[in-house]
A and B are shown apart, each in its own frame.
Chain A
Amino acid sequence: MRVHLHTSLRRPGPAGPLRQLEAELPASSTLADLLWLLELSPSPPGLLLVVNGRSADLSQALAEGDEVHLMPALSGG
């Protein structure tokens, strides 16, 4: 699955900030497992989770090919 790391979640990469990465998780893994894999806080209060264009919670099961967005929340523009 492809994981999009928004704003402050970007990571140092060889060619500049890394804002997307491919992740592989065992079958029946959840968003909580993905956060653990990425060494992120297990219940971040200001983090919005979106899978395939829809808001999701930590218990959401993930599948191969999913597009996951991890987005520190903003309240407007």
Chain B
Amino acid sequence: METTTIKSIPLQATHEALGAKMVPFAGYLMPLKYSSVTEEHKAVRNGVGIFDVSHMGEFFLSGPKALDLIQKVTSNDASKLKIGDAQYSCLPNDQGGIVDDLIVYRTGQEEYLLVVNASNIKKDWNWIKSHNTDQVWMEDVSENAALFAVQGPLATQVLQKITDFDLSTISYYKAAICTIGGVHQVIVSATGYTGSGGFELYVPNQDAVQLWDAVMEAGQAENIQPIGLGARDTLRLEMGYCLYGNDIDDTTSPLEAGLGWITKFTHPFINSEALAAQKKEGITKKLVGFKMIERGIPRHDYALCDEAGAVIGKVTSGGQSPMLEKGIGLGYVQKAFAKVGTEIWVQIRKKRVKGVVVKLPFYKNI
């Protein structure tokens, strides 16, 4: 039997001093919340917040065949990436499902950084390695790299105070390497998973505390708040972004998950023929966003029904939207029920509660 040890992130003591409730997540002890999920959520929507997401995994792939390997294992088209570009993508498996979703950065002429979910680090590494037939250099730096997301409409204003680099020149899904908060060689990326704008900062562990403290100090006037994983989840859900393990997994097709936009048949990749066929034939179920009309909060695994009570799908993510103050959810439904405006019912314990399929995102911040 494999024993599991809880790995620590560099800022554990910092989070505890800030009053965080720490919980084990994907093998790491992570901050779940500091104050309340709703307050943290609103801080990001209206101001600025900082997340420690150092549990995320990072792999560097380099060499003349690195791009070929990435093109083989990812569904988006990485050949389009210029140095400094980032791209949301997924690793399809050979059974029609998804190994993981990830961000691919081109960090050099022949060098790429892959950022993957913490819970999938080992699985992704083994998967990519098993397809590495051309001796592409692969390095897993997950244990040595910290990652902070500084998100919200005031994120740029805060970070600009501690760097000479003009952050307004980094457009969405682009990255630059700069000195920030006195720390050199930080990868500053205009990404995040909140829909409120801002940056993600990749930094070696030994500089992590210095950078966190510098950002917190710079953000004092803007009342920067530390944000836990709880609000990270409600923020991404309000945007309709998929969470691996909830909305997408080894059995869900990227096309059914609404990830057709990152499934590019411009190049062959693992299972691309089957996915292309699926696209041609049409999918039978689809991931949709819905909000509640009647009072109720959808939760993961609740059944979705039609008016008569026949099951038409399943909730994959759900919760109370702090901005809409309504229950919202994502779930797979039969295609006939996927159209925006369709009324669907959520089976909440003994009751069927009415909701409606809506266009995503649920909430627009920027």
Q: Do A and B bind each other?
A: no
